[in-house]
């Protein structure tokens, strides 16, 4: 027997939902009492289609068991480890091991309340995803949909974990790969020069992961490359989390070519065609008759995914693209290759051996980014729970927004806040 539900999707992604959380619950008949394993239980499965960064995917996993004796849904430690196989858009399998912990849940009396269990019951679901293959397929969006509730008590207790960490001289930061890749580590390193006793617990798995952690009371600061969405604000209100937003600066990516290339301006469509491999000759983008050579960040980089979202309509990089570990390496490669095209931060566009092209007539720069004219940019924000914001947390945020912190933002190739 199975029952299907169509809950209203509470995706933590900005704008349109990233997860089509169409829920199917199936209850398998209980094994006979002579069976060696869990003879008095039947099992509940959830199948949820996931829209990943790299295309459609599906997931089916053992989540809960239904007690034959009590007829209640209960959390089960056996679901700590879930293994999923994600098929990327190019049909290469990508295996993610998702570790989930569902703790301290109060039993539910009806299957019809499964949706509420996932979103509001006192359960903590922590997903860790590791990608293997040519690209990284993040399940952070799906994790954030589930990881909204804490292990105990009422709504106010959801913030106890992060606030207790802060009181013991530790600041917990979760969220955006874009912030966590280079910017946050450099801000932390400089801050610790004056505050050597301050400890930081950091984990960067995406903006949605940060919001889920903040709303679930699992962090002090959520780093985000997208603004908080209406759905997230509603959840914050339900959980009595007073979300405070701080603008840190802007992430911007300049498209660069070799100075010998005659191309000085590209349309957004031409950029997408170049990086997805649709245009493989520069004459297709207004240049000379010469092959295009792609240079991009490695798949584990937040920029690898971020540029796909900003410029490539989430399509895969073209065949033959060379993936490098830093903006500096990309700039060096383009400087040596007359047919090369890549991208880098704003701090490198002043180099004389590369050329930053305008996009739809708009040159990359701090001014055009802050005026929101340059298309390949995102505002970076820090979010806290103002109600539980410890003094140590506020000090660090103030440092990041100070002249000294903003100098680091600029040095790392980002646009300082206006």
Give per-residue pLDDT as tens, 253-304: 999 999 999 999 999 999 999 999 999 999 999 999 999 999 999 887 778 8
Domain-terminating residue out of 99, 118, 141 = 141
Q: 233-260 pLDDT, tens per residue?
A: 988 898 899 999 999 999 999 999 999 9
Q: Clarify whether residues 244 and 383 are in a common domain.
A: yes
Do residues 179 and 136 both lie within one domain?
Answer: no
**Residues 37 and 53 reside in one and the same domain:** yes
- pLDDT digits (tens), the chain, 418 positions: 443 333 333 322 233 333 333 333 333 443 343 444 333 333 333 333 333 332 333 333 333 333 333 333 333 322 332 322 222 222 222 222 222 223 333 333 333 333 333 333 222 232 222 222 222 223 333 333 333 322 223 333 333 445 444 445 899 999 988 899 889 999 999 999 999 999 999 998 888 888 888 988 899 999 999 899 888 898 889 889 999 999 999 999 999 999 999 999 999 999 999 999 999 999 999 999 999 999 999 887 778 888 999 999 999 999 999 999 899 999 999 999 999 999 999 999 999 999 999 999 999 999 999 999 999 999 999 999 999 999 999 999 999 999 999 999 999 999 999 9
- Nearest Cα to Cα of residue 203 among 227, 190, 187, 222: 222
Residue with tokens 């949605």: 208
Residue range 330-367, pLDDT digits in tens:
999 999 999 999 999 999 999 999 999 999 999 999 99
Q: What angle do CA 410, 415, 417 make, to 5 degrees?
A: 100
Phi/psi for 138 (5° steps) reads -85, 135
Tell me the C-alpha distance between 134 and 86, whole Å.
Answer: 13
The whole domain housing 283 covers 254-370
Contacts of 5 (CB under 8 A, 6+ apart): 23, 24, 25, 112, 114, 115
Q: Say yes or no: 1 and 136 in one domain.
A: yes
Q: Which of 112, 141, 170 is the last residue of a domain?
A: 141
For residues 291 and 182, state if they share a domain.
Answer: no
d(CA 133, CA 57): 15
Residues 128 and 6 in one domain: yes
Q: What confidence score (pLDDT) does residue 202 get?
A: 95
Same domain? 87 vs 205: no
The alpha-carbon radius of gyration of the chain (Å, integer) is 23
Same-domain status, 293 and 398: no
> What secondary structure does DSSP assign to 196-241, as a single string?
TT-EEEEEES-HHHHHHHHHTT--SEEEESSPPPHHHHHHHHHTT-
Farthest CA pair distance, the chain = 78
pTM, to two decimals: 0.60
**Are 51 and 137 found together in one domain?**
yes
Check if the beta carbon of residue 124 is closer than 8 Å to that of residue 102: yes
CATH number for 244: 3.40.190.10
Query: Encoding tokens for residue 204?
Result: 């960067």
Residues, the chain, total? 418
Give the Cβ contact number of residue 162 at 10 Å.
Answer: 28
Characterize the bridge pairing of strands 355-356 and 254-257. Answer: antiparallel
Nearest-angstrom CA–CA distance, 279 and 292: 8
Same domain membership, residue 159 and residue 128: no
**Number of structural domains, the chain?**
3
């Amino acid at each position: 027997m199975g029952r299907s539900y169509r809950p209203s999707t509470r995706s933590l992604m900005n704008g349109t939902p990233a997860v089509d959380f169409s829920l199917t619950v199936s209850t398998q008949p209980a094994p006979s009492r002579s069976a060696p394993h869990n003879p008095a239980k039947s099992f509940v499965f959830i199948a949820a289609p996931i829209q990943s960064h790299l295309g459609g995917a599906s997931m089916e996993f053992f989540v809960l068991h239904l007690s034959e004796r009590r007829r209640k849904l209960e959390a089960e430690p056996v679901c700590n480890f879930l293994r999923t196989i994600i098929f990327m858009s190019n049909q290469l399998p990508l295996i993610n091991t998702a570790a989930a912990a569902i703790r301290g849940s109060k039993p539910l009396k009806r299957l019809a309340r499964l949706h509420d269990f996932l979103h509001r019951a006192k359960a903590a679901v922590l997903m860790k995803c590791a990608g293997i293959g040519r690209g990284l397929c993040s399940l952070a969006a799906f994790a954030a949909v589930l990881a909204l509730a804490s292990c105990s008590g009422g709504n106010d207790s959801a913030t106890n974990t992060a606030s207790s960490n802060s009181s013991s001289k530790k600041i917990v930061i979760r969220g955006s790969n874009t912030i966590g890749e280079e910017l946050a580590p450099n801000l932390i390193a400089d801050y610790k020069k004056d505050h050597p006793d301050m400890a930081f617990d950091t984990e960067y798995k995406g903006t949605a992961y940060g919001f889920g952690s903040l709303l679930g009371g699992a962090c002090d600061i959520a780093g985000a490359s997208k603004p908080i969405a209406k759905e997230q604000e509603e959840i914050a209100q339900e959980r009595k989390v007073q979300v405070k937003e701080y603008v840190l600066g802007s992430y911007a990516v300049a498209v660069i070519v070799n100075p010998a290339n005659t191309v000085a301006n590209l349309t957004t469509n031409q950029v997408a065609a170049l990086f997805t491999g649709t245009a493989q000759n520069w004459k297709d983008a207004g240049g000379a008759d010469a092959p295009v050579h792609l240079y991009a960040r490695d798949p584990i980089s937040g920029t690898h995914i971020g540029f796909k979202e900003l410029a490539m309509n989430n399509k895969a990089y073209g065949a033959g693209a060379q993936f490098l570990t830093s903006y500096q390496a990309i700039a060096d490669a383009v400087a040596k290759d007359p047919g090369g095209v890549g991208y880098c931060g704003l701090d490198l566009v002043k180099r004389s051996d590369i050329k930053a092209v305008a996009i739809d007539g708009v040159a990359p720069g701090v001014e055009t980014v802050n005026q929101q004219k340059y298309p390949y940019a995102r505002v970076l924000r820090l979010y806290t729970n103002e109600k539980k914001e410890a003094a140590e947390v506020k000090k660090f945020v103030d440092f990041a927004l100070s002249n000294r912190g903003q100098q680091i933002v600029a040095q790392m190739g980002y646009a300082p806040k206006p």
